[in-house]
Amino acid sequence: MTGRLPLSGLALTAAALVILSTIYPWWVMNVRELTTNRMSYIHIYAYGLVHNMTELRQWVLRHETPPHLMLAARAYLYSSAALAAASALLIFKRRRVASVLLAAVGAVYLAYTLAFLPVLHEGVTTAPREIPMQGELWIYEVFYSLHVVTYFDVGYYLSLASSLLLVLTGLLAARVLRGGGAG
């Protein structure tokens, strides 16, 4: 019993962080038109892009996630959280397969999280103006002026934390459960 309860708690915490990382945006772009003070936004979540853009509609349309892929991404994300939660029970029952499951789910989610960076980079560099991945940009034209602010939001950092916590918990579980148990 020693060590299994805290490991189960870590697995459940990681599962909760995976779910939280899908609720919060990973990346945000806010665009304020200076003459009208109108705000537009792009929020990129773990499952896809949400926006209210009208002035850059054609550029945004090229990067929108199709509904079937958004559904597949959500299914993957929530099944990852479910597998992490199930691993907590397997750890408590002293099943060694829990450590492999946790490490695998964490490694795949870490790859999913890191794969977001080149996708985001491609998106911001193909914009009408090169938009920074994080920072601000002032655009002054004859008929309009824009203030663009971009940043990585809480969801992205939660996804990094949850994936690393899953891998770490899997490695710790392998060490704790190595002494015995079915698997």
- Structural domain boundaries, residue 8: 4-177
Mean pLDDT over each residue of the chain, to the nearest integer: 87
Tokens of 19: 């779910």
Residues 6+ apart with CB under 8 A from 160: 110, 113
Residue segments in the chain with a per-residue pLDDT below the cut of 70: 1-2, 55-59, 128, 179-183
- Look at residue 182 and tell me if it is in a domain: no
CATH number of domain containing 77: 1.20.140
At residue 115, what is the residue type?
A
- Whether residue 133 lies inside any domain: the answer is yes
- Amino acid 11 reads A
Neighbours of 107 (CB within 10 A): 15
d(Cα 77, Cα 83) in Å, to the nearest integer?
10
pLDDT tens, residue by residue, 58-68: 667 777 778 89
The answer to whether residue 183 is domain-embedded is no
The pLDDT assigned to 73 comes to 92
pLDDT at 163: 97
Total domains in the chain come to 1
Q: How far apart are CA 134 and CA 124, in angstroms?
A: 10
Number of other residues whose CB lies within 10 A of the CB of residue 127: 15
Q: What pLDDT score was predicted for residue 182?
A: 45
